[in-house]
Amino acid sequence: QHLISRRALHKGRAGPRLKTEPRLPDARRMAPSAISKFSNYAASQGRPDLAELLPTEEGAPVVIELGAANASRLLDDEDAEVIAEGSKDAGLWIEKVALPHHSVGDAGAAHLAKLSMCKALDLTANGLSAKGLEAITEAMTGVTSLKLGWNALGRAGGEIVAKAMGRPGCPLKELDLSHCEIDAPGLIAICAVLRHEETAPPIEILDLGSNKLFCETHEDVAKQVSTCVGLNKTLKVLRLRNLRFDDACAGYISDAIRVNKSLTEVDLSANRICAAGAAALAGALYDACFTARRKQMEPEPPLKKLDLSRNVVGDGGAAALAEMIAADPSLTELRVCNNGIRDEGGAALATACLAKTHLEYLAMWGNTFGPKACAAIDHLDNGDHDAFVDLDVRTYEVDGKLKASRANK
């Protein structure tokens, strides 16, 4: 039986990839027989199908990448051991391992940690705990991308990651710890490391969403996130969905947005942000735009994407966001789906897009669209103007009345 499903290979959605650029010095390229050595080792361990994870050509670093959806079976700790030991035995340089949604546990993580030259590790939704995470962070000190979402790492996991990030020279650029059951002290420990410019790793993508915050701790986390983001100069993408953040928390995040000059994407979806929180976020972008225009400069911060989907901003929040859109900040994508926005708010958002703006995409499906909103959406979509904003909503006519439906992708 093949490890990689035939359908996945046919559709081109899975399979090993060979990185061809940049070329490596001769001493670091795979020996001519490296792939066959690995295949023989895997077969000797009763896992011959693991050879399908390698490219068919020799001469460059190897990327091992196979999601569970494209595999004929789930990989486990024994498979991880064969991959690690077989690579070592064959002299392979494994540059990236991505095995999301398999069944690799702490023992498997300890084996994969032996791939010390690996630069990217994705074990999303496996069976890791803090013990497996510690093995990874202790051995794989050169990792630049670490994706461990949907593993039960707990508070200890947050503290272990913070300790690893605080080591001098930590090269980590991408960190995904979403859905890891990390509580407030664990998240705060991570934020504390990012506050110090001299020792903080060059993090560009940080996902802390859907972790274990209680009502009395979410504001403490928001304050710490705001402080570290405000001081950090490398962060580009910040994902904070489903952390029970309310208007006060949104206010703290807006303070960070005002001063951060590197942030391009913020995800605050599935929180508890109402009109006041939306107004605070809109105000941060509006003020930055106004100041930049007065100085004849580009807007700072250069935020491009803001996701407020599945909050409760309502018409009041929509009005504030509409005013911000019309002011023409740097924003190119705004998502406000499922936010309790009704006719007035929907009309305000659609009308604001008619102004000269950087905005390219507005998502607002899941709200209530009355006659005003439908008329404004129809004009934006079909009217004679120079606005080119793509919507996730389209209008249609029934008995002379405009109705709204979700746009086809």
pLDDT, tens digit (0-9, with 9 covering 90-100), for 48-105: 999 999 887 776 789 999 999 999 999 999 999 999 999 999 989 899 999 999 999 9
The closest alpha carbon to 188, from 211, 215, 204, belongs to 211
The reported pTM is 0.91
Predicted local confidence at residue 56, as pLDDT: 75
Predicted local confidence at residue 24, as pLDDT: 39
73-78-80 Cα angle (round to 5): 85
The closest alpha carbon to 319, from 291, 286, 282, 374, belongs to 282
Assess contact for 114 and 88: CB atoms under 8 A. yes
Predicted local confidence at residue 26, as pLDDT: 42
Assess contact for 203 and 176: CB atoms under 8 A. no
DSSP label of 37:
H
Record the tokens describing residue 307, joined without a space.
């996701």
Q: At how many degrees (to 10) do helices 218-231 and 247-259 cross?
A: 10
CA distance 234 to 204: 6
The closest alpha carbon to 275, from 325, 319, 238, belongs to 319
| pLDDT-flagged residues of the chain (< 50) | 9-10, 13-32
DSSP label of 91:
T
Q: How is the chain split among helix, strand and coil, in percent rounded to 5?
A: 40, 15, 45
Q: How many contiguous H segments (helices) and E segments (strands) does the chain have? A: 13, 15
What's the Rg (C-alpha) of the chain? 24
Amino acid, single-letter form, for residue 390: D
Residues 25-56 have pLDDT tens digits of: 443 444 447 889 999 999 999 999 999 998 87
Phi, psi (5° rounding) for residue 239?
-115, 120
